[in-house]
Amino acid sequence: MLKKFEIIQRLKEAEIEHAELKTAINNFIMNGKHNHIEIQRLKKNKLKLKDEIKTLRSGLIPDNIA
């Protein structure tokens, strides 16, 4: 199991990667370079990162059993 600081570090990395992919996708679209396969690949990777970010964030929230 990852330690809290390892989770936080990976979360920061994943958020940066996610932002970079968002920028790359927008640049492809804005520049008119519509390589649909490349854009779909980038979007798929971005979605995977989004899921990972959600999972990491949920690992930082303690379970409160009432």
pLDDT of residue 63: 64
pLDDT of residue 14: 97
The upper half-sphere exposure of residue 9, i.e. CA atoms within 13 Å in the direction of its Cβ, equals 5
At 52, is the pLDDT very low, low, confident or very high (cuts 50, 70, 90)?
Answer: very high
In whole angstroms, give the CA distance from residue 56 to residue 51: 9
**Under 8 Å between Cβ of 20 and 2:** no
pLDDT of residue 65: 58
**How confident is the model over 9-45, as pLDDT tens digits?**
999 999 999 999 999 999 888 888 678 898 999 999 9
Question: Domain-by-domain residue ranges, the chain?
Answer: 15-58
Has residue 66 got a pLDDT over 70? no
Each as own residue / partner, the long-range contacts of residues 1-9 (CB below 8 Å, 24 or more positions apart, any chain) are: 2/59, 4/60, 7/56, 7/59, 7/60, 8/60
Mean pLDDT of 47-58: 95
Greatest CA separation found in the chain? Answer: 54
